[in-house]
Amino acid sequence: MSSTRRVLIGIGGGIAAYKVCEVISSLFKSGVEVRAILTRSAQEFITPLTVATLCRHSAYTDENFWQPVYQRPLHIELGEWAEVFVIAPLTANTLGKLTYGLADNLLTNTVLASTASVLLAPAMNTDMWEQLAVQRNWQQLQLDPRYHSVGPGAGLLACDRTGQGRMAEPAEIIASVQSLLHTGGKRDLAGKRVLISAGGTREHLDPVRFIGNPSTGKMGLAVSQAASDRGAIVTLVHAPLPNSFLPVEEKGRGGLLGRIRTIPVVSAAQMQQAMLECFPDADLIVMTAAVADVKPAHYSNQKLPKHQLPTSLPLEPVPDILAELGSLKQPHQRLIGFAAQTGDIVTPAWDKLQRKNLDLIVANPIDKPDSGFGTDNNTAIFLSQKRQEEITRCSKLQMAHYLFDFIRKIETDYGEL
Ligand code: CTP
């Protein structure tokens, strides 16, 4: 078999099937090999031709059930081929069959003939989703470690109801697939409490003007996603994030933000308070936030007219949150910092590792193309007391997974978490 990653998508009968086309297209563009099975009712919504065109490979339906591939039954061949099996949209009917191990079509037979991790993306009308029987099946299936889920969120449904049952967005499904491809479905942070800070804090001079920085919180969100996908209980303390990242009403809380606790803050002092409150319960603390180092010495709670703006701004330092957490750290806790640097990134990061009593620091160049603030990708050097590892450019989610892999490696230096 080739080294290309292999994702099998089972498409159920629901209007959200059209969104799966985007999932297939994006996965293909990122170099993943995609195969797809459509149930009979899925074909009422999208055609095998659409799916086959996007996969660059024939799409399978129940018509193909008895057509062997290399003299082997199709469901066995496909089940063994898949590294990750996505079922989207997952209907109430398929959910019921999976719960009881029933197999009456190509999709459900392939699930049983495979040991791959299965990512479920349910989508249905709110009343259907909230039925006791459906909820019972859903809870039951979550107990099986093979199954992972994304969504559903809440929002306006195609049946004109507003409520729970909306399929997770394609970007959320793709992020979950990427995590599963990395971890192979292992939840090595199960039960661990991970506290993460993200975004750029703001120090206001008046209600409109502030000292800030270009951080968008993408790295912190990626670390939250990776930790949650690895089974951790995640709390994210975040400075203001771009609107598109937030769980706005229309998008619902179907993806990452539905699974984690979020605490919004604005200033360094608010972030300090939230982090200190959550710190005692945390096993792993990852401080990705770009904290504004200074604040205006005076704050006006009324907007200052232009002519009253000072020509020079007296500044005061803000608390160093990470250093304070470092001084409070208990032996079972692991504290991770980020150092956004230009030029020599290792020397100042190494200094911060010692000065702030960290277990690991991510030296992050912000003067390289496609790395640092606001980008989807990142490059870094991970530093611990005994190890150093260079991470060449990769997605922020991939980097977040490398970070947790590295933490596992330093456990061999310090003892298990
Ligand atoms: N940090 C923090 N509180 C601050 C400043 C930074 O908790 N007031 C954290 C950041 O979240 C990051 C790490 O410390 O994880 C390093 O941030 P950086 O700004 O590079 O560190 P500084 O100590 O401010 O160093 P420098 O003198 O280079 O600005």
Please indicate, yes or no, whether residues 99 and 198 belong to a single structural domain of this protein: no
* 1 inside domain: no
In 3D space, the residue among 225, 219, 220 whose CA is nearest the CA of residue 189 turns out to be 225
Q: Which of 275, 347, 352, 373 to mutate to test the pocket of ligand 1 (most atoms within 8 A of CB)?
A: 352
Task: Output the CA 292–ligand 1 centroid distance in Å.
Answer: 8
Res 244: pLDDT: 64
**Overall average pLDDT of the 138-145 stretch:** 96
Choose the weakest-confidence range: 186-200, 202-216, 247-261: 247-261
Please indicate, yes or no, whether residues 303 and 395 belong to a single structural domain of this protein: yes
- Residue-averaged pLDDT of the chain: 93
Residue in the structure block whose two tokens are 């006791």: 132
Q: How many domains does the chain have?
A: 2
Q: Which of 202, 271, 273, 287 to mutate to test the pocket of ligand 1 (most atoms within 8 A of CB)?
A: 287
Task: Output the CA 321–ligand 1 centroid distance in Å.
Answer: 8
Ramachandran class of 357: left when φ > 0, alpha when ψ lies in -120 to 50, beta otherwise: left
**CA distances (Å), 270 to each of 201, 292, 299, in order?**
9, 12, 15
Which amino acid would we find at residue 262? T
Task: Give the closest residue (by CA) to ligand 1 atom 9.
Answer: 322
Q: What share of the chain is helix, strand, coil (3-state, %, to 5)?
A: 35, 25, 40
Please indicate, yes or no, whether residues 228 and 157 belong to a single structural domain of this protein: no
* 235 inside domain: yes
Whether 412 has a pLDDT exceeding 90, the answer reads no
Please indicate, yes or no, whether residues 374 and 327 belong to a single structural domain of this protein: yes
Please indicate, yes or no, whether residues 335 and 263 belong to a single structural domain of this protein: yes
Task: Give the closest residue (by CA) to ligand 1 atom 29.
Answer: 293
Task: Give the closest residue (by CA) to ligand 1 atom 20.
Answer: 339
Task: Output the CA 337–ligand 1 centroid distance in Å.
Answer: 8
pLDDT top residue among 254 and 52: 52
Please indicate, yes or no, whether residues 37 and 134 belong to a single structural domain of this protein: yes
Give the whole-angstrom CA distance, residue 208 versus residue 189. Answer: 41
* 43 inside domain: yes
Res 249: pLDDT: 41
**Overall average pLDDT of the 241-250 stretch:** 60
pLDDT in tens, 42-76: 999 999 999 999 999 999 999 999 988 888 999 99
Give the whole-angstrom CA distance, residue 226 versus residue 259. Answer: 12
pLDDT band at 250 (very low <50, low <70, confident <90, very high): very low
Whether 402 has a pLDDT exceeding 50, the answer reads yes
**CA distances (Å), 224 to each of 53, 122, 186, 284, 357, in order?**
34, 22, 16, 12, 22
pLDDT in tens, 255-266: 677 789 999 999
Res 156: pLDDT: 79
81: domain CATH number?
Answer: 3.40.50.1950
Residue 159 is a catalytic residue: yes
Whether 151 has a pLDDT exceeding 80, the answer reads yes
pLDDT in tens, 275-286: 999 999 999 999
Range of the domain at 207: 193-414
Q: Between β-strands 360-365 and 294-296, what pairing exists: parallel, antiparallel or unpaired?
A: unpaired
Please indicate, yes or no, whether residues 146 and 288 belong to a single structural domain of this protein: no
In 3D space, the residue among 388, 293, 393, 294 whose CA is nearest the CA of residue 349 turns out to be 388
Please indicate, yes or no, whether residues 123 and 218 belong to a single structural domain of this protein: no
Choose the weakest-confidence range: 132-141, 153-162, 234-243, 312-321: 153-162
Which of residues 164, 183, 202 is at a domain's end? 183
Predicted TM-score of the model (pTM): 0.93
Pocket of ligand 1 (CB under 6 A): 268, 287, 289, 291, 293, 318, 320-322, 337-340, 348, 352
Is residue 282 a contact partner of residue 332, using CB atoms and an 8 Å limit?
A: no
pLDDT band at 246 (very low <50, low <70, confident <90, very high): low
* 168 inside domain: yes
Please indicate, yes or no, whether residues 239 and 164 belong to a single structural domain of this protein: no
Please indicate, yes or no, whether residues 128 and 237 belong to a single structural domain of this protein: no
356: domain CATH number?
Answer: 3.40.50.10300
Give the whole-angstrom CA distance, residue 365 versus residue 379. Answer: 7
Residue in the structure block whose two tokens are 């804090």: 201
Q: What is the DSSP annotation of 221-270? A: HHHHHHHHHTT-EEEEEE----GGGS--TTTTT-SHHHHSEEEE--SHHH
pLDDT band at 242 (very low <50, low <70, confident <90, very high): confident
Write phi, then psi, for 407 (nearest 5 degrees). -60, -40
The atom of ligand 1 lying closest to the CA of 348 is 28
Please indicate, yes or no, whether residues 142 and 236 belong to a single structural domain of this protein: no
pLDDT band at 415 (very low <50, low <70, confident <90, very high): low
Please indicate, yes or no, whether residues 48 and 160 belong to a single structural domain of this protein: yes
* 152 inside domain: yes
Res 1: pLDDT: 59
Which of residues 135, 164, 183 is at a domain's end? 183
Given the residues 55, 159, 278, 394, select the one marked as catalytic.
159
Which of residues 183, 214, 232 is at a domain's end? 183
* 157 inside domain: yes
* 83 inside domain: yes
Q: Where are the alpha helices (DSSP H) in 84-124?
A: 92-99, 106-112
* 188 inside domain: no
Is residue 83 a contact partner of residue 5, using CB atoms and an 8 Å limit?
A: yes
